[in-house]
């Protein structure tokens, strides 16, 4: 029988510290009304403390995932960490997470495709399951976006927060799990959404730091237009080739970049707001944490057999959509 890769459990974590719009009003020239009306964000979580990197977020999410699913760390055969903000350039943040949670019989690596990394990693992890190579794969989406946000830039600092989510992929022969995906990149988009310095092309110097070139740079209007069109197009393509109408879709799970982008994407797809997962108001844009955090927040509402359309868009540009048939009914963990 055909093997598919099904999500059989979810874990998540967000830091305790809440950065509200009211606090941002004291940092930059902005208002709660302005932020809310343009982004839909009311607050975001920030990871505080020395030596606290993305791996801290990912570790907490994976620990919760293993506990909820009753999975031993030594049962995991592969861990992929989708992140744009690795702890360090090497070793991989995935390696650090694996070590922290006691995963010792697996290999692990990072996936970086900006905000689309989680979808790319999910599709990649599924291939190992579908090929019969592995039976238990963990995909983590985690980012400490506060580490690359310029808190003097009022256009960008209002958008981002820190958080992580993790899913367990296992084989399924009943038709549940990842059934299709459309994944795309267009490197010409680099000019509109990128980080200017910090890599091998422009290593850190006193000058790059002084010019604040290690933060997020984006041209908002261009990114908005491309994000809406790209996410809607690939989501519609996935639906069309799997003969799914709007009534067949239980949930749209969009990357939580900006509520206006989410609303415009759903409108173009013809999906009503009652079918759109939304938590940007509480967490902001956690980049690779957004989609798994949505799944975690809505887990109790998901039912076995639900058709989910996941969609994301990221810098560089990257974008994609995944068709997923949900594999289990929610059971509260006591």
Query: Which residue numbers are catalytic?
Result: 115, 255, 285
SS3 category, 224: helix
Q: Could you please report the per-residue DSSP string of 116-182?
A: THHHHHHHHHHHHHHTTS-S-EEEEEEEEGGGG--TT-TTTTTTB-EEEEEEEEEEESSS-EEEEEE
Residue 319: which H helix or E strand, with range?
A: strand 318-325
d(CA 61, CA 286): 14
Closest CA to 180 of 235, 142, 110, 250: 235
How far apart are alpha carbons 272 and 303 in whole angstroms? 19
Residue 201 to residue 196: CA distance in whole angstroms: 9
CA distance linking residue 11 with residue 15, whole number of Å: 14
In this structure, the number of other CB atoms found within 10 A of the CB of residue 203 comes to 9
Distances (CA, A) of 277 to 24, 231, 249: 26, 15, 12
CA 153, CA 174: separation in Å to the nearest integer?
Answer: 50
- Written as six digits, the tokens of 51 are 């030596």
Contact 288, 85 (CB under 8 A): no
Taking residue 152's Cβ as centre, other Cβ atoms within 10 Å add up to 11
């Amino acid at each position: 029988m055909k093997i598919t890769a099904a999500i059989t459990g979810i874990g998540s974590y967000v830091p305790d510290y809440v950065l509200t719009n009211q606090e941002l009003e004291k940092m930059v020239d902005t208002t709660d009304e302005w932020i809310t009306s343009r982004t839909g964000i009311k607050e975001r979580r920030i990871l505080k403390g020395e030596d606290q990197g993305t791996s801290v977020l990912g570790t907490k999410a994976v620990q919760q995932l293993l506990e909820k699913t009753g999975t031993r760390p030594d049962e995991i055969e592969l861990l992929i960490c989708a992140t744009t903000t690795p702890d360090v350039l090497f070793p991989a943040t995935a390696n650090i997470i694996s070590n922290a949670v006691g995963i010792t019989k697996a290999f692990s690596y990072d996936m970086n495709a900006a905000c689309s990394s989680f979808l790319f990693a999910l599709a990649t992890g599924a291939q190992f399951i579908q090929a019969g190579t592995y039976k238990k794969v963990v995909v983590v989406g985690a980012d400490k976006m506060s580490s690359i946000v310029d808190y003097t830039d009022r256009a960008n600092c209002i958008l981002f927060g820190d958080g992580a989510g993790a899913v367990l992929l296992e084989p399924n022969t009943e038709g549940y799990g990842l059934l299709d995906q459309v994944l795309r990149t267009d490197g010409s988009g680099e000019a509109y959404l990128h980080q200017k310095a910090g890599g091998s092309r422009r290593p850190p110097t006193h000058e790059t730091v002084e010019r604040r070139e290690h933060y997020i740079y984006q041209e908002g209007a261009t990114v908005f237009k491309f994000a809406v069109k790209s996410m809607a197009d690939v989501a519609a393509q996935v639906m069309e080739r799997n003969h799914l109408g709007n009534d067949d879709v239980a949930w749209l799970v969009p990357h939580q970049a900006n509520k206006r982008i989410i609303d415009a994407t759903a409108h173009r797809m013809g999906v009503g707001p009652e079918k759109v997962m939304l938590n940007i108001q509480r967490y902001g844009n956690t980049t690779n944490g957004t989609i798994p955090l949505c799944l975690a927040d809505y887990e109790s509402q998901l039912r076995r057999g639900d058709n989910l359309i996941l969609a994301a868009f990221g810098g560089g540009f990257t974008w994609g959509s995944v068709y997923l048939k949900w594999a289990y009914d929610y059971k509260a963990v006591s």
